[in-house]
Amino acid sequence: MSKLFIVPTPIGNLDDITLRAIKVLKGVDFVLAEDTRTSGNLLKRFEISKPLVAYHLHNEHKIVARITERIKAGEQAALVTDAGTPAISDPGYLLVRECIRQDVVIECLPGATAFVPALVNSGLPADRFIFEGFLPQKKGRQTRLEFLKEMPCSVIFYESPHRLLKTLEQLAQHFGEDRNASVSRELTKIFEETVRGTLSELISHFTDCTLKGEFVLVVEGKK
């Protein structure tokens, strides 16, 4: 049966790939990859030889129809991103939506995503949470922060190294300096680190650090 598989890939440690993901990647006709070099290295590591098709934020609008036509014609495809689960702060939503419209079968595998271990490791309540991902860079950013500060559950953000301090400072401004939070970086990698404290304490900690890697912020909900 022709089908689109959504395949999560490791966020750092390649041993986190699932046996099912390897089986699917070996069985499809082609692999849609955010960065063909990164995904090519992953496939090579597990001795998988499949054609790679670039699928990323800059071309997804142009090639979605072409991909769905290939699947409808009888091919099977796997969608991967550089790390984690496709469509979670990564390309994927448009293709899934179009496949649904075209009655193409979709199968999403469970697997790695950065915010789950960061949330559990934060020590903050994990029974309810909001995954915000990346905040708007300019328009709507302040309004969004004002909205999120009232949420009674943990709020999760993604952030890059060069914007981490700015975001922590803005969170302190809107949420309050004494709001508890957690910052995780390089999850599953050699230099994995989680720092916990108030927003004020986290600002002080990271002011004197060389910031590298990808960051996940978890902020306590309003009490």
* 63 plus 91 within the same structural domain: yes
**Distant-in-sequence, close-in-space partners of 51: CB < 8 Å, separation ≥ 6:** 29, 30, 31
Query: Which band of pLDDT confidence, cut at 50, 70 and 90, is reported for residue 172?
Result: very high
Q: Which of 62, 93, 108 is the last residue of a domain?
A: 108
Query: Which band of pLDDT confidence, cut at 50, 70 and 90, is reported for residue 213?
Result: confident
As a whole number, the mean pLDDT across the chain is 95
Q: What is the pLDDT of residue 115?
A: 96
* 143 plus 197 within the same structural domain: yes
Q: What is the pLDDT of residue 151?
A: 97
Show the domain range for 200: 115-219
Q: What is the dihedral of CA 194, 197, 202, 205, to 10 degrees?
A: -70
Q: What is the pLDDT of residue 216?
A: 98
Q: What is the dihedral of CA 118, 121, 126, 129, to 10 degrees?
A: -20
Element (H, E) at 204: helix 199-207
Query: Which band of pLDDT confidence, cut at 50, 70 and 90, is reported for residue 1?
Result: confident
Q: Is 133 left (phi over 0), alpha (psi -120 to 50) or beta?
A: left
Q: Which of 87, 108, 129 is the last residue of a domain?
A: 108
Q: Which of 66, 92, 108 is the last residue of a domain?
A: 108
Place of tokens 């709020």: 155
CA angle 25, 157, 147 (to 5 degrees): 135
CATH number at residue 178: 3.30.950.10
* 130 plus 207 within the same structural domain: yes
pLDDT over threshold 90, residue 138: no
pTM summary value: 0.91
* 100 plus 16 within the same structural domain: yes
Which segment of 36-45, 93-102, 183-192, 204-213 scores lowest on mean pLDDT? 204-213
pLDDT tens per residue across span 31-83: 999 999 999 999 999 999 999 999 998 999 999 999 999 999 999 999 999 99
CA angle 137, 139, 145 (to 5 degrees): 75
Query: Which band of pLDDT confidence, cut at 50, 70 and 90, is reported for residue 208?
Result: confident
**Are residues 5 and 22 in contact, defined by beta-carbon separation less than 8 angstroms?**
no
Closest to 12 (Cα-Cα) out of 183, 184, 189:
189
Q: What is the pLDDT of residue 69?
A: 96
| Percent of the residues in the chain that have a pLDDT greater than 70, as a whole number | 100
Query: Which band of pLDDT confidence, cut at 50, 70 and 90, is reported for residue 209?
Result: confident
> DSSP for 158-169?
EE-GGGHHHHHH
Instruction: Spell out the alpha helix ranges (H) of 90-192.
Output: 93-101, 115-122, 141-148, 164-175
- What is the sign, positive or negative, of the torsion defined by CA atoms of 47, 8, 105, 73? negative
pLDDT tens per residue across span 90-121: 899 999 999 999 999 999 999 999 999 999 99
Q: What is the pLDDT of residue 79?
A: 98
Number of domains, the chain? 2
CATH number at residue 32: 3.40.1010.10
pLDDT over threshold 90, residue 169: yes
pLDDT over threshold 90, residue 185: yes
**Are residues 76 and 24 in contact, defined by beta-carbon separation less than 8 angstroms?**
no
